[in-house]
Amino acid sequence: MMTTRDFVRDSLLFALASTMLFSATTDAALSQTQKPQPARQQAPAAAPATAAANPAPAATEGGDADVVARAGSARLTAAEVRALIAGMNPRDRAAVARDPRILSQTVRAQLANQLVLKEAMAKKWDQQPAVAAQLQRIRDEAVVQTYLRSLSQPADGYPGDSDVETAYEANKASFLVPRQFQLAQIFIAQGPDADKAVEEKAKKKLEEVKKSLKEPGANFASIAARESDDPEGAAKGGDLGWLRENQIRPEIKSQIFGLAVNAVSDPVRIEDGWHVFKLIDTKAAYTLPLSEVREMLQQRLREDRQNTNQRRYLGKVADENPISINEIALSKLIEPAAAASSK
């Protein structure tokens, strides 16, 4: 019979595996579904939060019929998947809503975790001294963090309307949406290491495209569909959709900022080849209204207040229990630790 201690141990071991697998599969799925356009600058990816799941097949809502995914002896029920989604942070839930394939990848990772956990437990991996010590540290940290959160929760009525409005006015600049451009492009591939033959072929094609664009009644979308080396973009007549000013590379900005609507730019050479742009439309910069950011502000203010309450409580604990540290003895521990890490 599984004891509470066994369950905690298994859950912690499972959470360790989940952290890496969930992050990896979410990033992989996002990279497949959000293929960057040449006009966009790459933003650093933010690591998504991980939701721990029950490592053992749990009782289902409707028996085996409620199982939505399986791999060998591993099972995931609809209830467990709903709990997995509920445990995600808002950004990851929004990503799943945009593309269900992300959830599919995450479910695959959870099933893999169950199988790995079963194998690890069969080999008594959790009883390895180093692993057991790590699990104990994770458990202790979880107890401390959840206890502190319980003590530092803001009052139910916080923040009020006036608090939100004050925060909005104080941070209004951060809610500015930059100027936007709707662009279409014709892309002619020519990589940085292209040989002479590829370079000559690209230049010849570029001249043909320029000539076609200058013909009376030239249709940019038709030419893009026929000539662009970007199959995905060509299928949409070269349309890149709306891009914010801060998403557009500087060398491209210099070509499109002075264009009139429906005008075509000079060719722009960047590392992957040649790009010819058409400016379809523009939107002026604007500030997001309070109605669109209210919920986010409320959450941020509650988090800030909770952090303040937590720091205040920790300060109180320190005042009531003065800390004494032997700095000399402490410094002597640094050298052995540094030597061990350098090996």
184 with 240: CB under 8 angstroms? yes
* Three-class secondary structure assignment of 80-148: HHHHHHHCCCHHHHHHHHHCHHHHHHHHHHHHHHHHHHHHHHHCCHHHCHHHHHHHHHHHHHHHHHHHH
**Tokens encoding 33:** 């579904």
Q: Please return the burial class of 184, using the count of CB atoms within 10 Å of its CB with bins 0-12, 13-18 and 19+.
A: buried
Instruction: State whether 170 and 312 are in the same domain.
Output: yes
Whole-prediction pTM value? 0.56
Instruction: State whether 159 and 43 are in the same domain.
Output: no
Q: Which pLDDT belongs to residue 37?
A: 47
Is 41 part of a structural domain of the chain? Answer: yes
Contacts made by residues 213-218, CB under 8 angstroms, sequence distance 24+: 213/264, 213/276
Cis before residue 159, ω within 30 degrees of 0?
yes
Q: Which pLDDT belongs to residue 194?
A: 87
**Contacts (Cβ under 8 Å, ≥6 apart) of 297:** 159, 164, 167, 168
CA 310 to chain centre: 27
Is 234 part of a structural domain of the chain? Answer: yes
**Tokens encoding 212:** 């076609």
Instruction: State whether 64 and 196 are in the same domain.
Output: no
Q: Which pLDDT belongs to residue 35?
A: 41
Is 161 part of a structural domain of the chain? Answer: yes
Q: How many CA atoms lie within 13 A of 230 on its CB side?
A: 26
110 with 76: CB under 8 angstroms? yes
Instruction: State whether 34 and 113 are in the same domain.
Output: yes
Show the low-confidence residues of the chain (pLDDT under 70): 1-64, 337-343
Q: Which pLDDT belongs to residue 335?
A: 77
Give the structural domain span for 266: 179-284
The count of structural domains within the chain is 3
Q: For residues 58 and 64, what is the distance between their CA atoms, to the nearest angstrom?
A: 11
Is 190 part of a structural domain of the chain? Answer: yes
Is 193 part of a structural domain of the chain? Answer: yes
Q: For residues 217 and 231, what is the distance between their CA atoms, to the nearest angstrom?
A: 24
Is 215 part of a structural domain of the chain? Answer: yes
Is 124 part of a structural domain of the chain? Answer: yes
Q: Which pLDDT belongs to residue 100?
A: 86
Is 343 part of a structural domain of the chain? Answer: no
Q: Which pLDDT belongs to residue 42?
A: 39
Longest Cα–Cα distance of the chain, Å, equals 84
Q: For residues 101 and 186, what is the distance between their CA atoms, to the nearest angstrom?
A: 30
Name the nearest CA neighbour of 249 among 16, 20, 13, 40. 40
